[in-house]
Each structure stands twice: as structure tokens, then as C-alpha cells.
Amino acid sequence: MTQVVSRTPLERALEQYLAHLTVERGLSRNTLAAYRRDLGRYVAYLVARGRHEPQDVASQDVEDYLLALRTGSDGGSALSASSAARAVVAVRGWHRFWVLDGVTADDAAGAVRPPATPRRLPKAISVDEVGRLIDAAGFGDGAVPLRDRALLELLYATGARISEAVGLDVDDVDATPGRAAVRLLGKGGKERVVPVGSFALDALEAYLVRGRPELAAAGRGTPAVFLNTRGARLSRQSAWAALRTAAERAGLAGAGGAHLSPHTLRHSFATHLLAGGADVRVVQELLGHASVTTTQIYTLVTPDTLREVYQLSHPRAR
């Protein structure tokens, strides 16, 4: 006779929440497994403290659990700040679900903040490496090399996000010599107009004249600037693949070009502008950042340049 193991109220509540995440939010199997692991540890911690019902859990329990995650005092592995933050986010979501579902009257985790994670500096590559990357993207004959070179030139010339670049339509490009620019649609539907330098303009015009018509012939007349081989708008994934291929050709890739992404060119754009003396508020506008604080992180990757500017500019530096 098979023995039926009864679940505790918290374990039943966890299964209900995981079912909600599966059905209502359609999370992937790997994401659900992470939720099950993080919240399963939380349930075990609560039960060990004598908390058996959702209504038993207090804010102090959540605070103490965060400490347990960081130190391993609950018998589990001590987690880094980023891993503990992920686990706390899962806990906060579960408590919020309890309130919305009428299981508890108060959100015990509402005031608990995930631990601050170390500030990661943006990765940038050198000007020479950018040149090698772009040259590698344009290697070969035909429409695709013309497209890939134009795409990477544009990403570096404008600091555009990859979604902004592949979202460009032909009408968003002003190729007038001396005032060439593109109109980018950023986060929150915010538009900005960004100048385009001569290298990117030359690559873009070569693609629009000699490459795009060939690709467009296979499609149904999309206004997109960057097209795939079926004549449809180029996807973010395909643009990423083009960058990885170029990185491998240029000898800049790790395993599969893992350390280079389209955002690498955005970071390099900002870093090189600031290193060249651009005002941080101008770079903020070019990047489409809502706050200059976001842009200021790029100044952290050029300490030698800042020190040199200080030495040359401050009347009492030397």
C-alpha cells in the first residue's frame, strides 16, 4: 500500500503559486525550477522557525531569511549578493501573490529590499578593436556583408540599442551630408535624433544602394532598413549572430563570442566619447538615458583619461 505524504500548508501554497506562474505567466521550465529551488529553501527555513501557515510569517522572518541566505546559517549554501537578491525577489513575489489572492492581509516582504549587488562596469573595446570588428563584418561579397558592416557601423556611431537599430525604417534615416542623422525610438516610446558620422554614413549608403534592394526582392515590401535574406525585418537574434560571426573573424571572441554583444558597441560609443572630452550630459542625450546618473557609470571606465584631464586643467593640480 502506497503511503500518501501529506503536504504542509506552506508546501501546498508553494505548489499553487508555481502553478500560477506556469499557467498565468508562462514561465520557462528553467525559470520555474529556479523559483522552486529558491522558494523551497524559504519554506524549509520558515518551517524550522515554527511557521507553518502563510499567515504565520512576519516581516522579521523575511529579514532574517535574507541574512541566512548571505551567511548560510540555515544550513544551505551562502549566496552572493546577486544570487541572494534573486531569491529575495522570488520571496517578495510570492508574498505579493498571497495578498492579491486574499491568503494574507499584509505583505510581510513588502519592506524587505534585496541586497545591493556590486556595480558592474560596462565592457568596452578599444577603437582599434572596433575597427577590426567592423572590417570583419563586411568581409566578403554580396548584400549580407554590406548589411552587417552598415549595422555595426551604425551601432558604434550612434550608441543605439540593438532593438532601436533593427527597428529603424528607411524614413528614419537622413543621409544629408554634413547633417546626417537617424531617428531612434527608445524605451517608453521616447524618440531621439542622433548624428551619424561619415564612416557609418558611407557604410549605410553602400548597403541601401547595393545591398538592401537585393534583400528586399525576396520580401513583400517592408520599410525596415535592415533586412534578412527573406526580405523581412532583421531580428535582434540575427543581428546578434552577425556580431558574433564578426567577432570570431576578428579574433575578438571568447567561446562563441560570448563576451561581445551588441551592447558592447553601445558601451564603447559612450566610453570613447567621454574619453575624447564629450560632456556627460551630451552623451546622456545621445544614449537616450532618462537620468545623467545612468550615464555617469561610463566615466568609471576611463580613470586614466579623467586623471590626465584633471592634471592638464586644474590650476593647482601640479
**pLDDT digits 0-9 by tens, 169-186:** 999 999 988 888 999 998
The per-residue pLDDT for 106 is 92
Q: Half-sphere exposure of residue 197, counting CA atoms within 13 Å on the CB side?
A: 11
Q: Which cell numbers hold the place of 117?
A: 549587488
Alpha-carbon torsion 23, 28, 32, 38, what sign? negative
Q: What are phi and psi of 193, to 5 degrees?
A: -110, 125
Grouping H, G, I as helix, E, B as strand and the rest as coil, residue 31 is helix
Global pTM value: 0.59
The per-residue pLDDT for 115 is 78
Q: How far apart are CA 199 and CA 157, in angstroms?
A: 8
- Average of per-residue pLDDT across 61-70: 92
- CA distance readout (Å), 266 to 153, 233, 236: 11, 21, 15
- Average of per-residue pLDDT across 256-275: 78
Q: Which cell numbers hold the place of 263?
A: 551592447
The per-residue pLDDT for 200 is 93
The per-residue pLDDT for 257 is 41
DSSP code for 78: P
Whether the CB-CB separation of 223 and 232 falls below 8 Å is answered with no
- Give exposure, 36-64, as e/b (b: 16+ Cβ within 10 Å): bebbebbbebbeebebeebebbeeebbee
Grouping H, G, I as helix, E, B as strand and the rest as coil, residue 236 is helix
Whether the CB-CB separation of 220 and 155 falls below 8 Å is answered with no
The per-residue pLDDT for 7 is 75
pLDDT at residue 120 is higher than 70 = no
pLDDT at residue 2 is higher than 80 = no
Residues labelled as active-site residues: 161, 187, 263, 266, 289, 298
Q: Hey, what domains does the chain have and what are their CATH numbers?
A: 9-100 (1.10.150), 127-312 (1.10.443.10)
The candidate with the shortest Cα–Cα distance to 280, out of 268, 294, 267, is 294
Q: How far apart are CA 158 and CA 155, in angstroms?
A: 6
- Average of per-residue pLDDT across 188-212: 92
User: Per DSSP, which regions of 134-281 are E strands?
Assistant: 173-174, 181-185, 191-195
Q: Which cell numbers hold the place of 77?
A: 549554501
Q: What are phi and psi of 194, to 5 degrees?
A: -120, 130
Q: How far apart are CA 38 and CA 32, in angstroms?
A: 10
Amino acid at 35: Y
